[in-house]
Amino acid sequence: MKTIEFKAWLGGMAHLSRGQRDLVREDMAGKVEADLGVKLLEDSVTDTPSCPHCQSQKLYRWGKNAELQRYRC
């Protein structure tokens, strides 16, 4: 989301009812847990990736699947 759009969205928060704010809070609480999961995954990535099966560090590009690069050792 662009900064201008975010500021407009954030400004609209003042116009929400208490129930609507509670719903936003509950929804955001779930996102925080997801953000922690993403952080754990990002922290587990090393500078030199290796094959999870044989631990080889000689990886080669092997096509794409769902716009994600695939590799083969």
Output the six-digit token pair for 10. Answer: 């954030």
**Closest Cα partner for 10 from 2, 18, 30, 70?**
2
Angle ∠(42,44,62) on CA atoms, nearest 5: 80
Distance between CA 62 and CA 55 in Å, rounded? Answer: 17
The answer for residues whose C-beta is within 8 angstroms of residue 73's C-beta and 6 or more apart is 51, 53, 54, 56, 58, 59, 60
pLDDT of residue 18: 93
Q: What is the pLDDT along the chain (73 residues), one digit of tens a residue?
A: 888 888 898 888 889 999 999 998 888 887 777 778 778 777 777 677 788 788 888 888 899 988 888 888 8
The per-residue pLDDT for 10 is 86
